Amino acid sequence: MAANNKYENNSIDVKGMIAKNKQSKSLSSITEKLIPVVLFLFAIITVFTTVGIVFTLLSETIEFFKRIPIWDFFTGTVLKPMSQNPEFGVLPLLNGTIISSAIAMLVAGPIGLMAAIYLSEYASDRVRRVLKPMLEILAGIPTIVYGFFAFTFVTPLIRSFWPDVAATNILSPGIVMGIMIIPMIASLSEDAMSSVPKAMREGALGLGATKLETTFKVVIPAALSGIIASFVLGISRAIGETMIVTIASGSSKNFTFDITQSMQTMTAYIVEVSGGEAAAGTTIYYSLYAVAMTLFVFTLLMNLLARYVSRKFREEY
C-alpha cells in the first residue's frame, strides 16, 4: 500500500515537472521572439535619428542657398554676417578649421605613434598596464577645460618667447587639440600593432634584424591600416572640436595663413550664431545650417576615407 502511494507521488511530481517545463519553454520562446524585435527598434532609432538630422540640415541649407548663391558661399573669402551689407563666404571658416586640425595632427601624430610603438614593442606588461590607462585619462578631460588651459596657460607661454602671437590665435588651440587626440591615436595604433602575430617579429629577429628594424620594417607595415585609420579618425576629431577653438582662438573671421592671428572654425561659428544673436528666419540664422551641413559633409568624407583605408591596407593573418 505504501509502495503504491510512493509511485503515485512520483507520477504526480513528474507530471508537475513536465508542466513547468512546458510553461518555461513557452515563456522562453516568447522572449526569444520579442528580443530581436526590441533590438531592431533600438537599431532603427539610430537610423531615423540620422535621417532626421540630415533632413533638417538639408532643408534649412536649401533655404539659405535660395538667398545666397552657392558659388559665393563656397568661394567667398569674406564673412561678415552682422554688417549692414552682410557677406557669407565660408572660406575663412574652412581655412581656420583646416589649419587648426593640421597643427593638431603635427602634435598628436608623432607623439601618439611613438607612444604606441613604446607601449606595443618596448614596454613590459606591468608598465603597459600603468601607462596606457594614464594616457587614456587625457581623453576623459572635458574639452572646455582644454580650452581654458589653451587660453590661460599655453597662449601666455607661447607669447613669452614669441611676442608677435596675438592674445587669441589659432596656434594655441591647435597644439592643445593635438594633446587631446594623442590618446586616440596612441590607443588605436597600439591595438593595431599588438594584433600583429609574434611569429612575424620572431622571424625578423631570427633573420638578424634589430628590435628597431623589426618595429619599423615589419610591425608598422603590417599594422598600417589601423595606424592610418587612427590618424584619419584623429583628424575628424580635431575638425569637429568646438570649445577649445571657441575659447582660445577668438571669433575673428580672418582669411589668413598666419597661425599667430585669430581665426574662427566652422564649429566656433555655429556656437556664435546659435548663441541667440540671430533671429529665426534671417539669413544669418540659415547660414548656421549651411555651415553645419558643410561640416557634416567634411567629417563624413573623413570617416569614409578612414573606412576605405582600413579595408585597402588591411592585413589578415
How far is 96 from 254, CA to CA, in rounded Å? 8
How far is 120 from 133, CA to CA, in rounded Å? 14
User: pTM (2 decimals)?
Assistant: 0.81
Q: Could you state, in order of their start, the residue ranges of all structural domains in the chain?
A: 2-67, 79-312
pLDDT score of 2: 47
Q: Does domain 79-312 have CATH number 3.40.50.1820?
A: no
Spans of the chain below 70 pLDDT = 1-29, 276-278, 313-317
pLDDT score of 103: 93
**pLDDT tens profile 204-223:** 888 888 888 888 888 888 88
pLDDT score of 177: 92
**pLDDT tens profile 186-195:** 988 888 888 8
pLDDT score of 21: 60
